[in-house]
C-alpha cells in the first residue's frame, strides 16, 4: 500500500500475556512491555494482532517488521534479529497417562493421538516433521483444551502453564492431565525481520536495553506477576528480566 508505514509491530495473541479485552483493545504483560520499549524508542506505531502464519510471512517479506513473542528455535536463528527475551516456557506433550511407560521420543507420542496443536505454530511444524500420526491443528487454544478435556484429543502439544491457564478459565479440574513428553525449554523474544535497516535495528536494540534497566520495566513486571498469579495456578518467577513459566 502506498501509505504503508516504515515500521510494523505485529503480535499473535497469547492469553493471558497478550489478548483483547472486552472493548477490543490489546492488553497484557507483553503488550505493555513492547509499548514501553516503543515509547523509549520514540516510535509511535500501533501494535497489530494476527495469526502466526500471517505474522511470519510479513516478517519474511518486509523490512522493519517487529514481531513478538517469537520462540527462538534453531531453525529461526538466522532468520531474525533477536532483540530482547520476554518469557521462557517448557513445551511438551500433555495428556492423560495411558500407562506407566514413559514417552521418550516423538515416536512414543503416537500412543496418545490424536494430538492437538495450534495451526501454523512452530510446534505444528515439529509434529509434521516428526511424522506424528493424527495431528489436529486448531485456530485457538481454548477450543483445543476443551477438546482435550472432553476426550476428543489424546494429547496436546502445548505448555503446562498454558494448559493450567485455560483450565482455570474454563473452571475445570485438569489435575489428571500431565506432561507426558518434554520437548524443550524455549525462550520467546521480541524480534526484527532479517532485512530490517541498520537504523531501526540500532534504535530498537538501544531502546530495549534502556527500558530493561528502567523503573517502569520493573513496575510492569511486578504488577503483572501479581495479576497473572490471580488468573490461574501458575508457577512463575523472574530471572534476568525474563518471565519464566515454571
According to DSSP, residue 12 is labeled -
Q: Residues near 13 by Cβ (< 8 Å), separated by ≥ 6?
A: 19, 20, 49
CA dist 30 and 162 (Å) reads 15
Which residue intervals of 11-119 are DSSP H helices?
Answer: 29-40, 52-61, 106-109
According to DSSP, residue 99 is labeled S
Whether residue 99 is predicted with pLDDT greater than 60 in this model: the reply is yes
pTM: 0.86
What does the pLDDT average to over 200-212? 94
pLDDT of residue 200: 86
CA dist 27 and 228 (Å) reads 13
Indicate the SS3 state at residue 193: strand
Question: Could you tell me which of 142, 122, 123 has the C-alpha nearest to residue 19?
Answer: 142
What does the pLDDT average to over 138-165? 95
- Give the rounded percent of residues in the chain with a pLDDT score beyond 90: 76
Alpha carbon 111 to its chain centroid, in Å, reads: 27
Helix and strand totals (H; E) in the chain: 8, 12
pLDDT of residue 5: 56
Q: Which residue has the cell 502439544?
A: 157
Please, which pLDDT band fits residue 2 given cuts at 50, 70 and 90?
very low
pLDDT digit string (tens) for 31-89?
999 999 999 999 999 999 998 888 989 998 999 999 999 999 998 999 999 999 999 99
Total Cβ atoms within 10 A of residue 1: 4
What does the pLDDT average to over 187-211? 93
Please, which pLDDT band fits residue 236 given cuts at 50, 70 and 90?
confident
What does the pLDDT average to over 158-185? 94
Question: Could you tell me which of 141, 87, 135, 84 has the C-alpha nearest to residue 112?
Answer: 135
pLDDT of residue 229: 82
What does the pLDDT average to over 105-125? 94
H or E element, residue 139:
none
14 DSSP β-pair partners: 18
pLDDT of residue 3: 43
User: How buried is residue 176: exposed, middle or buried, by Cβ count under 10 Å (0-12/13-18/19+)?
Assistant: exposed
Whether residue 95 is predicted with pLDDT greater than 80 in this model: the reply is yes
Question: Could you tell me which of 138, 148, 197 has the C-alpha nearest to residue 170?
Answer: 148
Amino acid at each position: 500500500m502506498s501509505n504503508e508505514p516504515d515500521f510494523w509491530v505485529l503480535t499473535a495473541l497469547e492469553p493471558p500475556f497478550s489478548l483483547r479485552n472486552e472493548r477490543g483493545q490489546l492488553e497484557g504483560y507483553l503488550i505493555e512491555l513492547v509499548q514501553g520499549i516503543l515509547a523509549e524508542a520514540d516510535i509511535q506505531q500501533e501494535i497489530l494482532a494476527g495469526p502466526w502464519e500471517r505474522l511470519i510471512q510479513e516478517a519474511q517479506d518486509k523490512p522493519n517488521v517487529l514481531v513478538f513473542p517469537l520462540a527462538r528455535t534453531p531453525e529461526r536463528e538466522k532468520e531474525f534479529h533477536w532483540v530482547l527475551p520476554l518469557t521462557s516456557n517448557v513445551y511438551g506433550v500433555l495428556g492423560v497417562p495411558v500407562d506407566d511407560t514413559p514417552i521418550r521420543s516423538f515416536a512414543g507420542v503416537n500412543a496418545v493421538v490424536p494430538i492437538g496443536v495450534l495451526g501454523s505454530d512452530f510446534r505444528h511444524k515439529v509434529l509434521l516433521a516428526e511424522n506424528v500420526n493424527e495431528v489436529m491443528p486448531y485456530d485457538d487454544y481454548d477450543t483445543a483444551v476443551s477438546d482435550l478435556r472432553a476426550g476428543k484429543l489424546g494429547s496436546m502439544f502445548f505448555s503446562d502453564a498454558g494448559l493450567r491457564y485455560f483450565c482455570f478459565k474454563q473452571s475445570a479440574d485438569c489435575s489428571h492431565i500431565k506432561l507426558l513428553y518434554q520437548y524443550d525449554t524455549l525462550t520467546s523474544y521480541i524480534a526484527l525481520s532479517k532485512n530490517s535497516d541498520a537504523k531501526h535495528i540500532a534504535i530498537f536494540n538501544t531502546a530495549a536495553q534502556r527500558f530493561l534497566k528502567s523503573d517502569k520495566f520493573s513496575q510492569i513486571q511486578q504488577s503483572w506477576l501479581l495479576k497473572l498469579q490471580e488468573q490461574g495456578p501458575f508457577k512463575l518467577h523472574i530471572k534476568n528480566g525474563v518471565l519464566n513459566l515454571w
